[in-house]
Amino acid sequence: MAKILKIIQEGDPVLRKKAELVENPKSPEIQQLVSDMIATMRKANGIGLAATQVGKSLRIFVVNIAEEKQKEEIYVFINPEIKDVSPDKSPFEEGCLSVEKIWGPVMRPKKLTIKTLNKNGDLVKIRAKGLLARVIQHEMDHLNGILFIDKAEKLYKIEEKK
Ligand code: ZN
């Protein structure tokens, strides 16, 4: 059974640590962590979640770029490495489950190629553009202790609706 994990908030030093390589992606512990991360991302209505955000300093992140709630499109990245990024960049409003109620535009390359282990521990190469490329770069930053607020051109605070 997958568990819902606590999402660490900005200010906790684990978010600023460079995450470590996963030595045994097929181990039951890692498989459990990946399932828990997917469940946690889903519960939080997130489109991406890095292991550092649940207090595990490991090079893992999960992404769900579903167009609609019914159609999930989940990707698992273990020990990912971005190989190529396009020279053309675009701004996009980003937010983060670890930085609540703050949004801001971040410039990032539009396309990239990433080499990674998938959920089964198999090495795959993914060419990404659009929202997927965006989320991959945001999550990859988490693994290197970087938050989008470090890169955003400006930040907006979203007022709580009463
Ligand atoms: Zn984030």
What residues are neighbours of ligand 1 (ion), with CB under 5 Å? 96
The Cα 147–Cα 86 span in angstroms is 21
Ligand 1 centroid from CA 26, angstroms = 25
Give the pTM.
Answer: 0.95
Predicted pLDDT of residue 72: 83
Predicted pLDDT of residue 68: 67
Predicted pLDDT of residue 99: 97
The Cα 53–Cα 162 span in angstroms is 28
Predicted pLDDT of residue 162: 54
Active site residue 93: no
Residue 52 has pLDDT above 80, yes or no: yes
- pLDDT band of 62, cuts 50, 70, 90: very high
What residues contact 23, with CB distance under 8 A and at least 6 apart?
Answer: none
Ligand 1 centroid from CA 151, angstroms = 12
Query: β-strand 99-109 against 74-85: which pairing, if any?
Result: unpaired
Ligand 1 centroid from CA 87, angstroms = 23
The percent of the chain in helix, strand and coil, each rounded to the nearest 5, is: 25, 35, 40
Ligand 1 centroid from CA 152, angstroms = 12
Catalytic position from the list 10, 93, 139, 159: 139
Residue 50 has pLDDT above 70, yes or no: yes
Question: Tens digit of pLDDT for each residue in 102-127?
Answer: 999 999 999 999 999 999 999 999 99
